[in-house]
Amino acid sequence: MKISLRSGRRSVAGLPGKLKVVGVVSGELTEAGQELDAAHSGLLSKALKTSRFKGEEGAFLVVAAGDVFLGLLGLGQKRGVSTDRVREAGARVAKKALELGVREVAVENFFAERLGKAEASYALAEGLYLGSYRFDRYKSEARPVRVRYWIAKGRGRAVEEARILAEATAYARDLANKPPNVLYPETLAEEAERLAKEFGFEARVLGPEEIEALGMGAFLAVARGSARPPRLIHLVYRPEAPRRRVALVGKGLCFDTGGYSLKPTEGMRYMKADMSGAAAVLGTFRALAELRPPVEVHGVIAAAENKISGSAYVVDEVVRTMSGKTVEVANTDAEGRLTLADALAYAGREAPDAIVSIATLTGSSVVALGRKVAALFATEDRLAGGLLEAAGAEGEKLWRMPLERSYRKLLKSDVADLKNVGTREGGAIQAALFLTEFVRDPYAHLDIAGPAYQREDWELGPVGASGFGVRTLARWLRSL
């Protein structure tokens, strides 16, 4: 799918397009809708009178006007206008365009008078791009498709910035959607190197011997059961005169069987996307290449597979991490935190001003927050506030969870410094507390186990990887 986003100075009626979409608010045509209605001899107002369409949010009515489709999109009521509503409206337009098979679409800049033309253009453009996403490269009947969207009376700079972040999100989606026989530690590292070469980043990839030399016993233990060796990926975006230095650490489990603490069959489905944290870090780097914020950014990914073999790690092993701390393995399916422990220690060597990790870490976060909201843990209010603000602006839902220090005792081990799991109750909190053992403040962790992979069509895309976190991290980095 090739997406082109353009801002047009004219109204929807005066722009090209086989599909022209205007809004219906509180049951009435918007001003742009009235203009389009007049240009087509009252066809839209007649359709409103004779159909059951009332303009409920998300409802769509399409009217044929010769060789052009006229679309009425329900925008709900006038109250409660937000960028989220505009972003989701854009995605609905994109889905309808794909359904109709049209390749050029003109869209009203929804709620521009309430939000401002730039803000509305930004949200609408993101929605159009993300709603157009499809992952069909492994379908034999798939054909290249190009769609051009015109945003009426849009703001070109806002549309371009939205394109950058949406394209980076789509890139992260592509990575996490790839099957595990295509994307594994070696090929993920090759993709990181390709990205670095294309956009001018520094890149370093370490193999098993180099990883062992660093003392990453926890990371190597997780990777031991797979015939495919692990890779440690380190990317650096280094602008001139950076104001701050930040490290982003992404979980890179390319497939997770659970190891000897084996997942059931249904629980193993979609584990190709257990590297969604790594995909988010790489997607963020792709955005950095065009946004160019004055912040030095280190991206660290411990890429591995958690599989079963005669050499796989088992329950009751004690592993030594890069930090020197030892960990008793109480559950081999709590592998992500072991790989992150070493990746976080490695990232800390760069003495960053802040470290943010992002991972599909715990089922507990899904139980607590569902599949649309990610859990945020942070050791500092300022860092948490910046991430929450960025997420809110991008429509990626974060909820701050407590780092309840009294739960630290649940990770106490009789034979090592700590164990990798505690109790089922408060599991997401305990996982985050485990990670804080390997970093210095300020530190934040995003547990994206819920929103990283959607099991059904959703507001901003189809079934599959969502690319969650890319837009939040990129916006946050720009704010520093």
**Which domains can be identified in the chain, with CATH numbers?**
2-154 (3.40.220.10), 169-479 (3.40.630.10)
Report pLDDT digits (tens) over 252-306: 999 999 999 999 999 999 999 999 999 999 999 999 999 999 999 999 999 999 9
Q: Which of 224, 337, 397, 471 is catalytic?
A: 337
Q: How confident is the model at residue 343 (pLDDT cuts 50, 70, 90)?
A: very high
360-387 in b/e form (b: 16+ CB < 10 A) is: bbbebbbebbebebbbbbbbeeebbebb
> pLDDT digit string (tens) for 201-234?
999 999 999 999 999 999 999 999 999 999 999 9
- Give the pLDDT band (50/70/90) at residue 131: very high
Mean pLDDT of all residues in 56-78? 96
Residue for token digits 């942070």? 378
Confidence of residue 148 (pLDDT cuts 50, 70, 90): very high
Q: What pLDDT does 144 receive?
A: 83
Nearest to 177 by CA among 136, 209, 208: 136
According to the model, what pLDDT value does residue 451 have?
A: 98
337 included as an active-site residue: yes
Task: Report the run of H or E that residue 282 belongs to, with start and end.
Answer: helix 276-291
Q: Is the pLDDT of residue 409 over 90?
A: yes
Paired tokens of 74: 């329900």
Residue 196 pLDDT class (50, 70, 90 cuts): very high
Contact 110/149 with Cβ under 8 angstroms?
A: no
Is residue 197 part of the annotated active site? The answer reads no
Residue 1 has pLDDT above 80, yes or no: no
SS3 labels along the chain: CEEEEEEECCCHHHCCCCEEEEEEECCEECHHHHHHHHHCCCHHHHHHHHCCCCCCCCCEEEEEECCEEEEEEECCCCCCCCHHHHHHHHHHHHHHHHHHCCCEEEECCCCHHHHCHHHHHHHHHHHHHHHCCCCCCCCCCCCCCEEEEEEECCCHHHHHHHHHHHHHHHHHHHHHHCCCCCCCHHHHHHHHHHHHHHHCCEEEEECHHHHHHCCCHHHHHHHCCCCCCCEEEEEEECCCCCCEEEEEEEEEEEEECCCCCCCCHHHHCCHHHHHHHHHHHHHHHHHHHHHCCCEEEEEEEEEEEECCCCCCCCCCCEEECCCCCEEECCCCCCCHHHHHHHHHHHHHCCCCCEEEEEECCCHHHHHHHCCCEEEEEECCHHHHHHHHHHHHHHCCEEEECCCCHHHHHHHCCCCCCEECCCCCCCHHHHHHHHHHCCCCCCEEEEECCCCCEECCCECCECCEECCCCHHHHHHHHHHC
Length of the chain as a residue count: 480
Q: What angle do CA 318, 322, 323 make, to 5 degrees?
A: 95
Active-site entry in 103, 263, 320, 478? 263
- pLDDT class for 171, splitting at 50, 70, 90? very high
The tens digit of pLDDT for each residue in 304-339 reads: 999 999 999 999 999 999 999 999 999 999 999 999
pLDDT tens figures, 24-51:
999 999 999 999 999 999 999 999 999 9
Confidence of residue 142 (pLDDT cuts 50, 70, 90): confident
Report, as an integer, the average pLDDT of 103-119.
97
Confidence of residue 124 (pLDDT cuts 50, 70, 90): very high
Confidence at residue 271, expressed as pLDDT on a 0 to 100 scale = 98
Enter the pTM of the model: 0.97
> H helices within 362-439, ranges in order?
363-369, 381-394, 427-436
- Of residues 63 and 144, which shows the higher confidence score? 63
Tokens, residue 269: 């489905």
Closest Cα partner for 123 from 5, 297, 259, 32? 5
Write down the mean pLDDT value for the chain: 97
Kindly report, residue by residue over 346-355, the tens digit of the pLDDT: 999 999 999 9
* Average pLDDT of span 130-142: 92
Q: Distances from the Cα of 66 to the Cαs of 63, 280, 299, in angstroms? A: 10, 44, 53
289 CB-contact burial (10 Å; exposed 0-12 / middle 13-18 / buried 19+): middle
